[in-house]
Amino acid sequence: MDIVVSGLSKSFGTNLVLDGFNAVFPEREITCLMGPSGCGKTTLLNILMGFIKPDSGSIQGVPALKSAVFQEDRLCETFNAVSNVKLVLNSKSDSGIIVEHLNQIGLKGSLDKPVNELSGGMRRRVAIVRAILAKSDILFLDEPFKGLDDDTKKDVMNYLLDNLKGRTVVMVTHNMDEVKSLNAGLIQMEGKSK
Amino acid sequence: MFSLGVQNMNDNNAKKIRMEKTAAVVFALIVWQAGAMLLDNSMLLVSPLTVIKRLFTLFFESDFLSSVSFSFIRIVSGFLLALAAGSLFAIIAGRVHIVEVMLWPFMTAIKTVPVASFIILCLIWLSSSNLSIFIGFIMVLPIVYTNMLQGIKSTDVKLLEMANLFNVSWYKRLKYIYLPQLKPYIISAGSVSIGLAWKAGTAAEVIGIPEGSIGEKLYEAKVYFSSADLLAWTLVIIFASIAFEKLFLNFLKKFFRRLERS
């Protein structure tokens, strides 16, 4: 089922962030949101994820099982990468699969360290594996490649493409190359979008 | 190489602090000994040497261990009960605002009412042998409650949002989000309140005079004007309090280390 957003408005105090926003996010496809800073991309994502309520408008078709890579990594700082991924999985899930995914994304050798001892790029990759392995029908990605160098970005993008299949993806980005590489649909947002 | 240098600097610093503290204790003992020699009246001020000698003879008295264990079990029980109840109240108050509001007058009253008033009031309700449990409990409760509530309130909202989105179970929230964030608050509550539990618990025993307690020994020292006994038993209380504090804080450190590695 596609996600249909109609007439969505949201303001914070006197700051109108979304003004009658309309969009359709096709099921099992990747849709990218682009636009200048402050145009409401993250606000829209937060509304879709259910963290904030819109002032008006309607949203239909958001699946119950959600997963996300947030703008901040939102990791449990004193735990290692494997534990951070385990957090969102079923208690019976196999640690071997987690290790395999973390190794695949270039974190081999850093799995035992608490995540607060990892670099920004490594932390980002832990957040990405967590989002991928969590059971979900929709994936929200808020600037998932932030802090990654070009080579790592390429690897992570391939990792995402290999593992996204079958899920609806809504991704915030500032980079048109990412949209093309992921073969994604594009919604261009402008301040107070109509 | 760099980390080795930093390690050496830290070791030297720790050694320096230890030496400074030892020197301060030795200086205090010298001042005490000099004061005792100047006054030359063991009832007014007994010398540290006499106190230490008395302390060693205490160890070999038949009822020493039973008195220490009597008070230790009760005061520690009061502390642990307060730790459990204070944490439970804080968890409920952290979730239900009205509970926090309703508990506020009780916690404020407990914090401000003098411990002697509580002891005398409780002597009417309770047997003197269990008084130190309740007094230890009542003195520690608001400290644990306040610290834990502050910790719960300062839990990272963004992590809780993440947990909601991923439908993380309550057990995993506790393990991965709440407990690590509460760690400094639990440690702080423990280190502040253990000493207080011993002070208040012993005061309750001195007033209630339960048979076979440290408080009874202090009371007897007062009756017989035995400064050496008074100070020797005071040292026993200090050692017991410090020993339990170290034990408790070590247990917490090990618990959190295991939690983070699991």
pLDDT digits (tens, 9 = 90+) for A172-183: 999 999 999 888
Question: A193 or A77, which is more confident?
Answer: A77
Mean pLDDT, rounded, of chain B: 91
Q: Is A84 in contact with A75 (CB distance < 8 Å)?
A: yes
Are both B136 and B173 inside the same structural domain? yes
Same domain, B84 and B190: yes
Domain of residue B6 covers 1-40
Query: Which residue in A53, A88, A170 has the most chain B C-beta atoms within 10 A of its own C-beta, making it the best mutation to test that interface?
Result: A88
**Does B123 contact A at CB distance below 8 Å?**
no
Chains A and B form CB pairs within 8 A to the count of 42
- Does one domain contain both B21 and B147? no
Inter-chain CB proximity A77 and B165 less than 8 Å? no
Give me chain A's average pLDDT, please.
91
Q: What pTM, to 2 d.p., does this model score?
A: 0.81
Q: Which residue of B has its CA nearest to A132?
A: B166
B160 touches chain A (CB under 8 A): no
Residue A84 to residues A104, A147, B66, B72, Cα–Cα distance (Å): 16, 19, 49, 41
What per-residue confidence (pLDDT) applies to A1? Answer: 83
Of residues A193, A133, A152, A170, the one with CA closest to residue A49:
A170
CATH number of the domain that residue B118 is part of: 1.10.3720.10
pLDDT band at B3 (very low <50, low <70, confident <90, very high): low
In this structure, the answer to whether residues B35 and B49 fall within a common structural domain is no
Asked if residue A59 lies in contact with residue A75, where contact means CB atoms within 8 angstroms, the answer is no
Residue with tokens 């089922």: A1
Q: How far apart are CA B235 and CA B229, in angstroms?
A: 10
Instruction: Inform me whether the C-beta atom of residue B166 falls under 8 Å from chain A C-beta atoms.
Output: yes
Q: What is the pLDDT of residue A194?
A: 41
Answer whether A78 sits within 8 Å of B168, measured CB to CB: no
- What token pair was written down for B121? 């009031």
- pLDDT of A5 strictly over 80: yes
User: Is A168:A93 a contact under the CB 8 Å cutoff?
Assistant: no
pLDDT greater than 90 at residue B40 = no
CB contact (8 A) between residue A79 and residue B180: yes
CB distance B200 to B139 below 8 Å:
yes
Distance, CA of B185 to CA of B180 (rounded, Å): 10
Shared-domain flag, residues B31 and B156: no
Of all residues in chain B, the percent with pLDDT exceeding 90 is: 75
Does residue B70 sit in the same domain as residue B131? yes
pLDDT in tens, A25-42: 999 999 999 998 888 999
* B260 and A CB contact within 8 Å: yes
Does A114 contact B at CB distance below 8 Å? Answer: yes
Residues B55 and B115 in one domain: yes
B132/B252 same-domain check: yes
Q: pLDDT class for A93, splitting at 50, 70, 90?
A: confident
- DSSP type of residue A8: E
Q: Which residues contact A126 (CB under 8 A, 6 or more apart)?
A: A73, A75, A81, A84, A85, A102, A107, A115, A118
Mind listing the pLDDT tens digit for each residue in A58-68? 999 999 999 99
**Mean local confidence (pLDDT), B2-23:** 80
Instruction: Tell me, yes or no, whether B85 and B164 share the same domain.
Output: yes
Check if the beta carbon of residue B207 is closer than 8 Å to that of residue B35.
no
Q: What is the pLDDT of residue B203?
A: 94
B153-180 pLDDT, tens digit each: 999 999 999 999 999 999 999 999 999 9
Residue B2 pLDDT > 60: no
Of the residues B162, B164, B256, the best mutation for testing chain A's interface (the one with the most A CB atoms within 10 Å of its CB) is B162
Residues B36 and B49 in one domain: no
A79–B176 CB contact, under 8 Å: yes
Q: Do B105 and B11 belong together in one domain?
A: no
Q: DSSP assignment, residue A3?
A: E
Whats the size of chain B, residue-wise?
A: 262
pLDDT band at residue B4 using 50, 70 and 90 as cut-offs = low
CA distances from B231 to A16, A45, B32 (A): 71, 67, 12
Give me the helix-helix angle, B48-59 and B2-39, nearest 10°: 100
> Which residues of chain B neighbour A114 with C-beta distances below 8 Å?
260
Token code pair at residue B152: 């719960």
Q: Is B255 on the interface with A (CB under 8 A)?
A: no
What is the side-by-side strand order in the sheet with A15-25? Answer: A15-25, A3-12, A56-60
Give B-chain residues touching A68 at CB under 8 angstroms: 162, 165
Whether B122 and B244 share a structural domain: yes
Contact A114 B176 (CB under 8 A): no
Per the structure, the count of domains in chain B is 2
Q: What's the pLDDT tens digit per position in B46-66?
A: 899 999 999 999 999 989 999
Q: Which residues of A touch B180 (CB under 8 A)?
A: 76-79
* Residue B230, H or E segment: helix B227-261
Minimum distance, in Å, between the CA of residue B146 and any CA atom of chain A: 24
**In this structure, are residues A160 and A132 in contact, taking their beta carbons and an 8 Å threshold?**
yes
Per-residue pLDDT reduced to its tens digit, B108-167: 999 999 999 989 888 888 888 889 999 999 999 999 999 999 999 999 999 999 999 999
Return left, alpha or beta for A154; rule: phi > 0 is left, psi -120 to 50 is alpha, else beta. alpha
Residue B134 CA to residue A117 CA, distance in Å, equals 44
